[in-house]
Amino acid sequence: MTPAELAEVVLSAAHAVFTERGLDPAALPAHTAVERPRNPDHGDYASTLALQLSKKVGVPPRELAAALADQLGRAAGIKSVEIAGPGFLNIRLDAAAAGQLARVIVEAGAEYGRSDRLAGQRINLEFVSANPTGPVHIGGVRWAAVGDALSRLLRATGADVGTEYYFNDAGSQIDRFARSLLCAAKGEPAPEDGYGGAYIAEIAEQVRAVRPDVLDLPDAQAQEVFRVEGVTLMFAEIRSSLRGFGVEFDTYFNEKDLHDRGELDLALDRLRAQGHLYEADGATWLRTTDFGDDKDRVLRKSNGEWTYFAADCAYYLDKRERGFERVVIMLGADHHGYIGRMKAMSACFGDDPAVNLEILIGQLVNLVRDGVPLRMSKRAGTVVTLEDLVDAIGVDAARYALARYSSDSPIDIDVELWTRATRDNPVYYVQYVAARTASVGRNAAEVGLSRGDGAGFHPELLDHDKENELLKALAEFPAVVAAAAELREPHRVARYLEDLAGAYHRFYDNCRVLPRGDEEVTDLHRARLWLNDATRTVIANGLRLLGVSAPERM
């Protein structure tokens, strides 16, 4: 019996109680939930339904709980129901009902854990969006791991998700990038406000290979060649790096397109029609203070140039015009000040910022060895890049390490820890269970042990404490996935997988799956193989949501 099925049983029992007592069934919720008690001595699951309904129907909570407990005690699969405190229901399942979950999971396969919780939501999820002036640095890599995991979670819970990378290929930083390439090609030092690092010289050489005549051109024309060709090469490199990290975007959006298509003027017209623009000192301003911003924002300068914020406005409008009801943007810690102005901008367009715009802020990441941060990349010169991180600990460990922590917490990634083949390395600990469950399956086949079909499965035999503990952990997975998606917290999946791995190890150490020597294969061996394979399924499904592999061998 899954938690969702048990919740339906509880609701059905409540309906029967209401009918018996002449209470109005309309007071019952459409759905309820059961939870795992923190203390396993309190039962397999707990319900607070009696407490929730007591005031509505004017019945003391313990009296209502007693009636519910009596009704639930007659339901198939319920071993016992106890009343605790002011009206909590502590429910124990019989072994057969609890063990059936193993079959449910194995037969559901990759679908186990998925739901339609967010069905009907159209979400645009933008993350990474590093400037095309250098390789993706470690802060951007954090969003690559977290953003990609979040997109998987949102889709697993039924949302219609479009992932997006915004290339800032217009503006002063691109001019500085082009000047830096030109100087490198000439063998001159980088401009004072330019970009350094070996990658600049590499790209400059690649541009010269495409355009051998570039240095024969006047500086202004040569700089334009370096701008066009250099940005294209940088785009290609960033996309290739992210692809190697397992991250592909549905849309790669160029800021320059907003300018070329006149979308900044369109956004200005829309904001003017909403009555939130004014002119002052020759510039065009957006009155964001009407919606809580600390100051109004310039959209067009007195010299006619657009501000970055004007492009932000046009880009937001473009997403909304493409039919996305919720725009989710992931930004680094240095962009915390953007939240107020972006929320106010959304309101200026007539949207509800609480519904249509969501901004997530990620904190800093350090790569450390022997407790000392590694700050220098041989190639980028000043920062640790995606390639540096992958070279240090590998793709799986990097993705898991970055997704394992709440995004609003700074993290240190210890090279020694995350490359260690020991149980204190979290990704190794979880992947080891994936490999061990696969190994059990292979060894079972060698000794002639197979699960058989569902008709030959005897879940009532799974009555060992460690089997029950593992089954309860497996049952939590759908709720963990739903919570991780709704709260935008992929780290919940990682922490769950580590708890599940611990429960499996305890099961494996106490409950032998394979027969010894000439021992005859029994129904208990088969039942435990179902449980082993159910664990393999959930571990694989959870790791897939994080973009991490579930190896069959280690």
Please determine, for residue 436, whether its predicted confidence score (pLDDT) is greater than 70: yes
Instruction: For residues 451 and 531, give the distance between their C-alpha atoms in angstroms, rounded to a whole number.
Output: 10
CA 225 to chain centre: 39
Instruction: For residues 299 and 312, give the distance between their C-alpha atoms in angstroms, rounded to a whole number.
Output: 10
Identify the CA nearest to 431 among candidates 440, 421, 416.
421
Q: In this predicted structure, what is the pLDDT of residue 150? A: 98
Instruction: For residues 276 and 349, give the distance between their C-alpha atoms in angstroms, rounded to a whole number.
Output: 9
CA dihedral for 143, 149, 152, 156, sign (positive or negative)? negative
Q: In this predicted structure, what is the pLDDT of residue 282? A: 95
Instruction: For residues 365 and 352, give the distance between their C-alpha atoms in angstroms, rounded to a whole number.
Output: 32
Q: Which of 38-42, 131-135, 202-206 has the highest mean pLDDT?
A: 202-206
Lowest mean pLDDT of 77-81, 288-292, 466-470, name the range.
Answer: 77-81
Instruction: For residues 112 and 129, give the distance between their C-alpha atoms in angstroms, rounded to a whole number.
Output: 32
At 406, is the pLDDT very low, low, confident or very high (cuts 50, 70, 90)? very high
What are the residues whose beta carbons fall under 8 Å from the beta carbon of 86, sequence distance 6 or more?
Answer: 51, 61, 62
Average pLDDT over residues 38-64: 86
At 384, is the pLDDT very low, low, confident or very high (cuts 50, 70, 90)? confident
What are the tens digits of pLDDT across the range 521-554? Answer: 999 999 999 999 999 999 999 999 999 999 999 8
Please determine, for residue 378, whether its predicted confidence score (pLDDT) is greater than 70: no
Please determine, for residue 41, whether its predicted confidence score (pLDDT) is greater than 70: yes
Transcribe 351-388 into DSSP letters.
--HHHHEEEEEE--EEEEETTEEE---TTTSSS-BHHH
State phi, psi for 248 to the nearest 5 degrees.
-125, 145
- Strand 78-84 and strand 88-93: the pairing is antiparallel
Q: In this predicted structure, what is the pLDDT of residue 385? A: 85
Instruction: For residues 426 and 497, give the distance between their C-alpha atoms in angstroms, rounded to a whole number.
Output: 9
CA dihedral for 262, 267, 273, 279, sign (positive or negative)? negative
Residues in the chain: 554
Transcribe 170-205 into DSSP letters.
SSHHHHHHHHHHHHHHHTPPPPTTS--SHHHHHHHH
CA distance readout (Å), 472 to 36, 94, 430, 469: 8, 13, 18, 5
Q: Please, what is the Cα angle at 179 between 173 and 185, to 5 degrees?
A: 140
What are the tens digits of pLDDT across the range 217-264? Answer: 999 999 999 989 999 999 999 999 999 999 999 999 999 899 999 999
What are the residues whose beta carbons fall under 8 Å from the beta carbon of 115, sequence distance 6 or more?
Answer: 156, 157, 158, 478, 481, 482
What are the residues whose beta carbons fall under 8 Å from the beta carbon of 292, sequence distance 6 or more?
Answer: 340, 343, 344
Q: In this predicted structure, what is the pLDDT of residue 379? A: 52
With residue 83 as reference, give the H or E element that holds it: strand 78-84
Please determine, for residue 381, whether its predicted confidence score (pLDDT) is greater than 70: no
Identify the CA nearest to 35 among candidates 4, 62, 60, 71.
4
Residue with the two structure tokens 């397999």: 44
What are the residues whose beta carbons fall under 8 Å from the beta carbon of 262, sequence distance 6 or more?
Answer: none
What are the residues whose beta carbons fall under 8 Å from the beta carbon of 260, sequence distance 6 or more?
Answer: none
CB 98 within 8 A of CB 469: no
Instruction: For residues 296 and 277, give the distance between their C-alpha atoms in angstroms, rounded to a whole number.
Output: 10
In angstroms and rounded to an integer, the radius of gyration of the C-alpha atoms of the chain is 29
Q: In this predicted structure, what is the pLDDT of residue 195? A: 84
CB 431 within 8 A of CB 549: yes
Please determine, for residue 146, whether its predicted confidence score (pLDDT) is greater than 90: yes
Is 331 in a helix, a strand, or coil? strand
Average model confidence (pLDDT) across the chain? 91
- DSSP 8-state symbol, 253: E
Instruction: For residues 246 and 549, give the distance between their C-alpha atoms in angstroms, rounded to a whole number.
Output: 11
What are the tens digits of pLDDT across the range 445-486? Answer: 999 999 988 788 999 999 999 999 999 999 999 999 999 999
Please determine, for residue 129, whether its predicted confidence score (pLDDT) is greater than 90: no
Alpha-helix residue ranges (DSSP H) falling in 406-551: 415-418, 426-446, 465-475, 477-486, 491-510, 523-545
What percentage of the chain reaches a pLDDT higher than 70? 98
Q: In this predicted structure, what is the pLDDT of residue 314? A: 97
With residue 329 as reference, give the H or E element that holds it: strand 326-332
CB 50 within 8 A of CB 66: no
CB atoms within 10 A of CB 193: 11
Q: In this predicted structure, what is the pLDDT of residue 19? A: 86
At 173, is the pLDDT very low, low, confident or very high (cuts 50, 70, 90)? confident
Specify burial of residue 265 (Cβ count, 10 A radius: 0-12, 13-18, 19+): middle
What are the tens digits of pLDDT across the range 89-128? Answer: 899 888 888 899 999 999 999 999 999 999 999 999 999 9
Single-letter amino acid code for the residue at 111: E
